[in-house]
């Protein structure tokens, strides 16, 4: 009795730690992955959307997963949903295993499918529908093993296989294996009921027919669907399209998820724990589980991708100051994050002052070329949008949606397309996109507000965002390609000298390329920008150019070069000319200056060659 209390207490404590751990992990360490997944689906609350989904095998689990995924929009809702689904899965598996072995000591085993399910959700290519579909299949499995009468169970199995196939998709395979494993165990148990284990031949044949009938139905139904209803690749016909976003692939992790329940069912049948070894058995299982969880999450979690998604999430929501705070703790480690940081510096008016405080390494940290995948395109669209290159932003956004792996639609992209068409005065097109967003939960309010400004030039022109973008649009059509961004920026600055962001991006372009000739040509434009204080990196570049002309920067610098900049350059020059280990010494004090970048950083050319002509009218 005392041992039983220990087991119950251990199970309660283990459950609290595991599921609260899942919630905390996805809330505070992996939340941007959930926001990322939410934005790349478009879930419509309409009957047509529902019927279109359930018209495919696994469509109901796809619809359910999509319905729940839209709540990832709320920071704590997503982790709560995931923890809830994994808890429900664990409880179902526990009850299935209890039908085979009622020993409570083996409760940690029931957490293994939930653990694997939690792991695969760390990868953005595994949709939540993979978990909802698997959950439906296990629920059907629980219903099956709960039936005691053989004939009733057999008939139920014949119904559950096609029903689960249509509702849950590929996880019906797991249900099938679970049913076969359970019937095998019942057969092994039945041998003990007969003298000397001799089972009557008719009983044996009856079980064989169970197996053959189940296998025939499981193989036949998908083939009939493929032949007469939906023509799909053979693998997709059996596994469905709702378990992995790359439709032509079924990863090992999903196959393992399908196989685990029947394997556990067979395993627990052969395990018996003596009462005196209860604590030892619990300790061993828990230790094994902890090790499995550690290595599993370490393998599936991608914290570099999480960092990129955090930058993207903050920029998407225009939380510019939060981007800078995040960068101070997590400096960019790739072009994607760096580009979002540089945009945030420009939007907060700090690009000219702080850009070289971060590791700049080429123009890909300013502009992101489209390379036939959806992440770079959607992030690159943000830069182009805030520069005022509206048509280029629109093309990037559209290309991003067209390259989404599961070929679905994106609420974020639809929203951006509604904005760009509204700014361009294409109100009918914008209205089409807004009507789609009105059928969602979390974008409905924004769409309804945007609908009120359609065809209202005054409201649009007075809007702080759309009005500004319309004001700074380039009026004359011209050929645009991201590789020719310099020409586009020059045209923007020429037509709108007050477009400070475009000007600062052009200055940054020249400074990163160490193009002092073109930089100096923009000084007259800079002097008309109305800076209360000329940005520090511009001052540093000007001092350097004066020095190149064999003039004394200390005495020949313009008035707007501060005394602090003059003194810092003198200190920099003294170290640079006197010490053989100047780079190491200068890095400690001057690594954030433009001088250090000029002398010690290599200009990296664009590493992404676009194979598609990404053109448009701006």
Q: What is the rounded CA–CA span in Å between residue 62 and residue 25? A: 24
Domain count along the chain: 3
Residue among 153, 263, 169, 260 nearest 213 (CA)? 153
Residues 427 and 336 in one domain: yes
76 belongs to a structural domain: yes
CA 133 to chain centre: 20
**Contact present, 78 and 243 (Cβ < 8 Å):** no
Q: Within the chain, what is the greatest distance between any pair of CA atoms?
A: 110
CATH code at position 408: 1.25.40
Radius of gyration for the alpha carbons in the chain, expressed in angstroms and rounded = 31
12 belongs to a structural domain: yes
Residues 309 and 228 in one domain: no
Identify the H or E element spanning 331: none
Residues 250 and 351 in one domain: no
Residue among 145, 202, 155 nearest 179 (CA)? 145
174 belongs to a structural domain: yes
504 belongs to a structural domain: no
**Contact present, 84 and 20 (Cβ < 8 Å):** no
103 belongs to a structural domain: yes
Q: What is the value of pTM for the model shown?
A: 0.91
pLDDT score of 18:
96
Residues 321 and 369 in one domain: yes
375 belongs to a structural domain: yes
509 belongs to a structural domain: no
Residues 399 and 520 in one domain: no
Q: How far is CA 190 from CA 187, 272, 463, in A?
A: 5, 19, 77
Residues 284 and 368 in one domain: no
Residues 289 and 314 in one domain: no
452 belongs to a structural domain: yes
Which parts of the chain have pLDDT scores under 50? Answer: 607-618
In the block, tokens 């044949």 appear at: 205
Residues 79 and 93 in one domain: yes
Return the percent helix, strand and coil in the chain, to nearest 5.
70, 0, 25
pLDDT score of 253:
95
Domain around 519: 514-600
**Contact present, 482 and 367 (Cβ < 8 Å):** yes
pLDDT score of 3:
66
Q: What is the rounded CA–CA span in Å between residue 56 and residue 165? A: 10
pLDDT score of 606:
55
pLDDT score of 613:
36
Residues 285 and 334 in one domain: no
pLDDT score of 331:
94
Residues 288 and 314 in one domain: no
Residues 272 and 398 in one domain: no
Q: What is the rounded CA–CA span in Å between residue 569 and residue 600? A: 16
pLDDT score of 443:
97
Count of beta carbons in the 10 Å neighbourhood of residue 326? 21
Phi, psi (rounded to 5 degrees) for 617: -100, 135
Residues 241 and 325 in one domain: no
């Amino acid at each position: 009795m005392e041992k039983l209390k220990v087991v119950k207490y251990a199970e309660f404590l283990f459950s609290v730690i595991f599921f609260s751990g899942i919630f905390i992990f996805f809330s505070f360490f992996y939340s941007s992955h959930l926001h990322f997944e939410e934005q790349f689906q478009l879930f419509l609350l309409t009957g047509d959307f529902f019927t279109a989904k359930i018209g495919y095998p696994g469509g109901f689990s796809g619809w359910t997963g999509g319905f729940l995924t839209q709540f990832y929009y709320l920071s704590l809702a997503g982790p709560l949903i995931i923890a809830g689904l994994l808890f429900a899965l664990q409880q179902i598996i526990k009850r299935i295993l209890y039908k085979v072995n009622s020993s409570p000591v083996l409760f940690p085993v029931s957490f293994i499918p939930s653990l694997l399910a939690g792991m695969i959700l760390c990868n953005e290519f595994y949709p939540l529908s993979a978990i909802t579909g698997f959950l439906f299949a296990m629920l059907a499995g629980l219903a099956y093993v709960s039936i005691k009468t053989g004939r009733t169970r057999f008939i139920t199995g014949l119904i559950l296989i096609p029903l689960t196939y249509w509702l849950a998709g590929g996880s019906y395979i797991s249900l099938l294996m679970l049913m076969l494993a359970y019937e095998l165990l019942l057969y092994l148990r039945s041998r003990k009921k007969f003298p000397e284990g001799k089972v009557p031949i008719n009983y044996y044949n009856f079980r064989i027919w169970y197996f053959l009938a189940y296998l025939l139905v499981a193989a036949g139904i998908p083939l009939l669907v493929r032949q007469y209803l939906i023509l799909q690749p053979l693998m997709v016909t059996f596994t469905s399209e709702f378990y992995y976003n790359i439709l032509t692939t079924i990863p090992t992790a999903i196959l393992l998820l399908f196989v685990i329940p029947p394997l556990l069912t067979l395993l627990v049948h052969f395990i018996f724990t003596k009462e005196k070894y209860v604590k030892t058995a619990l300790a061993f299982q828990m230790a094994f589980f902890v090790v499995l969880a550690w290595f599993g999450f370490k393998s599936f979690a991608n914290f570099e991708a999480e960092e990129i998604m955090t930058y993207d999430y903050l920029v998407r929501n225009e939380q510019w100051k939060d981007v800078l705070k995040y960068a101070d703790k997590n400096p960019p480690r790739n072009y994607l994050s760096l580009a979002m940081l540089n945009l945030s510096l420009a939007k907060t008016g700090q690009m000219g002052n702080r850009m070289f405080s971060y590791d700049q390494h080429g123009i890909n940290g300013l502009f992101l070329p489209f390379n036939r995948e959806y992440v770079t395109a959607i992030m690159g669209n943000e830069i182009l949008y805030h520069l005022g290159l509206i048509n280029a932003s629109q093309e990037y956004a559209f290309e991003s949606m067209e390259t989404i792996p599961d070929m679905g639609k994106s609420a974020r992209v639809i929203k951006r397309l509604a904005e760009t068409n509204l700014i361009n005065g294409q109100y009918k097109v914008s209205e089409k996109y807004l009507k789609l967003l009105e059928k969602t939960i979390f974008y409905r309010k924004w769409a309804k507000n945007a609908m009120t400004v359609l065809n209202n030039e005054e409201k649009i022109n007075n809007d702080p965002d759309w009005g500004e973008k319309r004001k700074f649009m380039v009026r004359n059509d011209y050929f645009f390609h991201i590789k020719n961004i310099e020409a586009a920026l020059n045209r923007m600055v020429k037509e709108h000298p007050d477009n400070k962001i475009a000007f600062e991006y052009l200055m940054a372009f020249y400074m990163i390329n160490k193009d002092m000739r073109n930089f100096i040509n923009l000084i007259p434009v800079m002097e008309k920008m109305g800076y209360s204080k000329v940005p520090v990196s511009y001052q540093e570049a000007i001092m350097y150019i004066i020095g190149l002309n064999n003039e004394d920067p200390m005495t020949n610098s313009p008035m707007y070069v501060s005394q602090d900049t003059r003194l810092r350059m003198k200190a920099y020059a003294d170290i640079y000319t006197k010490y053989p280990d100047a780079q190491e010494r200068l890095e400690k004090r001057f690594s954030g200056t433009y001088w250090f970048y000029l002398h010690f950083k290599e200009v990296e050319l664009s590493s992404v060659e676009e194979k598609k002509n990404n053109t448009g009218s701006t």
